[in-house]
Amino acid sequence: MTYCHPIIYVAVTAFSAEVMMIRKNVVFFRGRKRNINMNKHRIVKAAVIQVLIISLILSGCNSSGSTGSTDNTAKKMKWWQKTIAYEIYVKSFKDSDGDGTGDLKGITSELDHFKEMGVGAVWLTPCYVSPQADNGYDIADYYNIDPAYGTMEDMDNLIKEAGKRDIRIVMDLVFNHTSNENEWFLTSRQSRDNEKSDWYIWADPKEDGSAPTNWRSIFGGSAWEYDETRGQYYLHTFLPEQPDLNWADPEVRKALNDVARFWIDKGVGGFRMDAVTYIKKPDEFKDGIPDGGDGMTGIHSMTANTDGILDYLHEFKSAVVDGNDIFTVGEANGVSAEDLSQWIGEKGVFDMVFQFGLVNIDLPDETNWCNTREWTLPEFKSYFRGSLSEADSAGGWFPVFLENHDQPRSIDHFMPGEGNRIAKAKALSTLLLTMKGTPFVMQGEELGFVNVDWGSIDDYNDVSTKNHYEFALSEGYSEEEAMDAVHRFSRDSSRTPMQWDGSENAGFTTGTPWLPVYPDYDVFNCDAEKKDPDSVLNCYIALNDLRRKHSELISGDYAEIFKDDEKIFSFTRENEGKKATVFINFTPDEATYDKSCIENAECIFSTVTETEKGKLSPYGAAVYEE
């Protein structure tokens, strides 16, 4: 991944040789005039070479990004804009001690997996101390590693070993809420007047003793939980085990800033800010208009993106982030393309935000997985168009993602139904790695993973899946309809163990995996895919290579072509006289397009061996360049 201009190597070699010779001369010829003059001459020469080296380094020897690009725009880009990011679901990546749970040592042992893929940033889902009510998104201690995942020493070692490979570790900051077992909450709930009594969102019951409002939590059921000791309710946007912090209290914000600084000092490369659009609550707590048979209103509509939220985040940015060579990406459910200029770019609070427009394209209302809608390819494209143009005009940057640990697998999500799974995976990988922005690959996506379809709801682990299932039944859907929705949207699909090889449990663990390994691991595993030139993994490797060689795929402007085409997604990436045109067929049939736009271009990448201008095979993708 490290790339240095050849001139720099020559200069470095020449400089070292000069220094050695000067040293030798000084020692050997000390005191003789002729040789002192010669030394001076050489010192001047060496100084010139040194200046040359420094200016070349400053002008863009790129050692932490993944591109070998020499184009001027790419040179000015930050390391995290040029690299590929990868999400690890820590619990499922690699188990080093046979307890069936992935761990930090396991991750360290597999870092070479990222070498050829060009990954320079690895986002770890939360691995802090946690009772695991929501698989780590309920944090009991931000300053320690959960024993199931290892020790702080393992973490230090992981950061160090990753660094040797030019990979930065990205931590997940869950700052909207903690675990109900966090010391902060245990103190807060003791009385109405202790030093942390205001650290969470407490409210008195309504006159009849019921919850302060009719808000439904994102995982289902009331968003309020009664506490006997205080005689009050506390708010939880997610599970009752995840009480929301009160950001209005400056002490809370200070405590959270300290957490982030602690991790920056450890050398992490960035933060993903969990559920960050919920941190500010409205000044007044009011009932919402019921949107379900339970008489409740989804909390999202009542608290997401509340006025004033950006003040808190600006404070976080200037107190913690500014001046450090790290990036931040906010999980920003509720932030639309029009809002982007306030969230990213010159006036924004983060480097990037994950928006939900694309992943919710089939779900008008996230609370109800049974209420889906059909979508069209032009709609799919419009998400990229809208967000990219707003991000560009704000001077901000875009994270490209089709999957994460809360989403179904992209093959089933965006290319459902008939057709070859490998072709689909390759088509989607082409989109992910040639779109403008930093691509985020979800563990297993690079191997072509698909959704699980376990028989009964009891087979599922994810608490939100179980709650969605119950909600569907309570809304009058049949068991079959509820299970269909589970197969389509369950978060467990993106959380099954990583498949390393064809041995038992796919080489993930020698014990019993905490979540079943997907049965197709004999074919879809890292070892087998490495050996197969036509595998999904080798397609990712080839696409990384392509990005390095054709830097307009990293730095180039984005423009859509054939906008209204219902079958093909095509766009150009253009920079400094180089133009790449990408074509992706979203259908199980052959598709054609007007090839005049690539008349003088040559094919630089294709997901099939034979490709013809103007034609794409079923779920085929190709890139041309002129």
The residues carrying an active-site annotation are 274, 331
Q: Which of 67, 101, 407, 438 is close enough to bind Mg ion by CB under 5 A?
A: 101
Q: How far apart are alpha carbons 61 and 256 in whole angstroms? A: 36
Least CB distance to ligand GLC at residue 361 (A): 18
Question: Should residue 274 be labelled a site residue for ligand GLC when binding is judged by CB under 6 A?
Answer: yes
Residue with Cβ nearer Mg ion (103 or 225): 103
> SS3 letters for 280-298?
CCCCCCCCCCCCCCCCCEE
Considering beta carbons, is residue 269 or 330 the nearer one to ligand GLC? 330
Q: Residue 108 or residue 242: which is nearer to ligand GLC going by CB?
A: 242
Q: Could you tell which of ligand GLC, Mg ion, none binds residue 406, using a CB distance below 5 to 8 A set by kind? A: ligand GLC
CA distances from 13 to 9, 17, 50, 68 (A): 6, 6, 11, 21
Concatenate the DSSP letters of all residues of 570-585 into one string.
EEEEEETTEEEEEEEE
* Interacting partner of 134 out of ligand GLC, Mg ion, none (Cβ under 5 to 8 A depending on kind): ligand GLC
Nearer to ligand GLC, 83 or 176 (CB): 176
Cβ distance to ligand GLC smaller for residue 43 or 463: 463
Report which of 546, 538, 586, 536 is spatially closest to residue 426, judged by C-alpha positions: 536
Chosen residue from 71, 87, 103, 339 binding Mg ion by CB under 5 A: 103
Cβ-Cβ contacts under 8 Å for 33 (sequence gap 6 or more): none
Q: Is 403 in the site for ligand GLC (CB under 6 A)?
A: no
For the bound state, the minimum distance from the C-beta of residue 278 to ligand GLC, rounded and expressed in Å, comes to: 9
Distance CA 168, CA 83 (A): 10
Count of residues that bind Mg ion according to CB under 5 A: 5
Sign of CA pseudo-dihedral 320, 321, 325, 327: positive
Q: Which one among 87, 95, 134, 339 touches ligand GLC, defined by CB under 6 A?
A: 134
Q: Which of 265, 607, 261 is nearest to 421 (CA)?
A: 607
**Rounded to the nearest 10 degrees, what angle do helices 6-29 and 33-58 cross at?**
160
- Which of residues 93, 137, 184, 440 is near ligand GLC by CB under 6 A? 137
CB closer to Mg ion out of 104 and 580: 104
Contact partner at residue 103 from Mg ion, ligand GLC, none, CB < 5 to 8 Å by partner kind: Mg ion
**Shortest Å distance, C-beta 331 to ligand GLC:** 6
For tokens 């675990």, name the residue. 179
275 near ligand GLC (CB under 6 A): yes
Residue 186's Cβ-side half-sphere holds a number of Cα atoms within 13 Å equal to 6
State the Cα angle at 332 between 188 and 150, rounded to 5°.
60
Q: What are phi and psi of 580, to 5 degrees?
A: -105, 140
* Cβ nearer to ligand GLC, comparing 174 with 264: 174
173 binds ligand GLC (CB under 6 A): no
Rounded to whole angstroms, the Cα distance separating 391 from 346 reads 10
Residue nearest to Mg ion (CB): 103
Binding residue for ligand GLC (CB under 6 A) from 89, 142, 199, 238? 238
- Alpha helices by DSSP H, listed for 416-461, are 421-434
Token pair 């999400």 is found at: 87
Select the span of 30-38, 89-97, 421-429, 458-466 touching Mg ion (CB under 5 A). Answer: 89-97
- For position 394 contacting ligand GLC by CB under 6 A, the verdict is no
The residue within the footprint of Mg ion, chosen from 38, 45, 97, 538 (CB under 5 A), is 97
Beta strands 270-273; 168-173: pairing state: parallel
> Is there a contact between 135 and 142 (Cβ–Cβ < 8 Å)?
no
Q: What residue 552 binds from Mg ion, ligand GLC, none (CB within 5 to 8 A, per partner kind)?
A: none
Report the site for ligand GLC in 25-84 (rule: CB under 6 A): none
Which residues of this chain interact with Mg ion, rule CB under 5 A?
95, 97, 99, 101, 103
Which residues of this chain interact with ligand GLC, rule CB under 6 A?
134, 137, 174, 238, 274-275, 331, 405-406
